Amino acid sequence: PRSRPPPAAAAPGLASPRGDFRRELRAALDLMARAAEGDCLELLEAAEAGEEHAAHVLGLAVGVRAATVDAALQALATPPRVVLVLGCGIGCAALRASRHVRSGGCVVACEEDAVRAAIALCLVEWVGLTSTVHVWVGRAEQLLPRLCRVFGTGSVDALLLSPQGGEYQADFAGIEQLGLWAPEAVVVADQLLDPIAPELMWLVCNSPSFRPTVVPVLNDWVLVVLRIAAA
């Protein structure tokens, strides 16, 4: 039988080096307390069943957002080789995406905040997916050239976007300039209304290369975009 860790009783005393990120640390400890080590599916199920306070921290990994990610990745003609996550937070959306990559594929989870990235790395290690989910620390403009060097042009089959201080249209522009899009790709962008992303909406609605769909969630939108190969 699988052994489980003791409950995270120390949550009230959690602290990061800067004294913040209490919600993220508490959510991570809760997940590890509810899921056996090495069991990604059980951790994701724990996230779905988690407390209300963790919903904002978990983002694209739970609820309607999670179902949207699953449907978007399954809409690709073949399982993705590279899923890029910009603004991975504590990593749960990246873990969810890892269930959809092809054999030998990977998820590159980028997070500009070092504390959130460290929590994400801990969760990735907890479920035993360090060979599939790679956590990189930095901003998109710093990490996209590295992604191009490692995986080459035409490598990004799927992109998950969550707010991390930058603007979505800048991330799109960087991917376009480096030629990172695969011939057919899918994008899932969270929190379209908060923060507002008018330039991204204008871009995908006025380009023949994109087929956008908006999924309403509580007080917000999730944007799903299929990128179509040029004729």
DSSP-derived secondary structure for 136-192: EES-HHHHHHHHHHHH-TT-EEEEEE--SSS-HHHHHHHHHHTT-EEEEEEEEE--S
The total number of residues written for the chain in this structure: 231
Which has more confidence, 221 or 167?
221
The least confident of 4-13, 73-82, 115-124, 143-152 is 4-13
Structural domain contains residue 43: no
Query: Which whole number is the average pLDDT over 93-121?
Result: 97
| Cα gap 220→88, rounded to integer Å | 19
How far is Cα 20 from Cα 119, in angstroms, rounded to an integer?
13
Q: For residue 12, is pLDDT > 60?
A: no
pLDDT at 163: 85
CB 123 within 8 A of CB 43: yes
HEC string of 15-76 equals CCCCCCCHHHHHHHHHHHHHCCCCCHHHHHHHHHCCCHHHHHHHHHHCHHHHHHHHHHHHCC
pLDDT at 127: 98
What is the reported pTM? 0.90
CATH for 89: 3.40.50.150
Task: Evaluate if residue 8 carries a pLDDT over 90.
Answer: no
Whether residue 32 lies inside any domain: the answer is: no
Percent of the chain with pLDDT over 90: 75
Comparing 166 with 5, the larger pLDDT belongs to 166
Q: Answer whether residue 26 is part of any domain.
A: no
Owning domain of residue 153: 59-227
51 domain residue, yes or no: no
Top pLDDT among 191 and 40 is at 40
- Domain count along the chain: 1
Query: pLDDT band at residue 206, thresholds of 50, 70 and 90?
Result: very high
pLDDT band at 5 (very low <50, low <70, confident <90, very high): very low
Q: Is residue 31 part of a domain?
A: no
The pLDDT score that the predictor gives to residue 231 is 56
Say what the pLDDT of residue 52 is. 62
Q: 2 lies in a domain?
A: no
In a domain, 23, yes or no: no
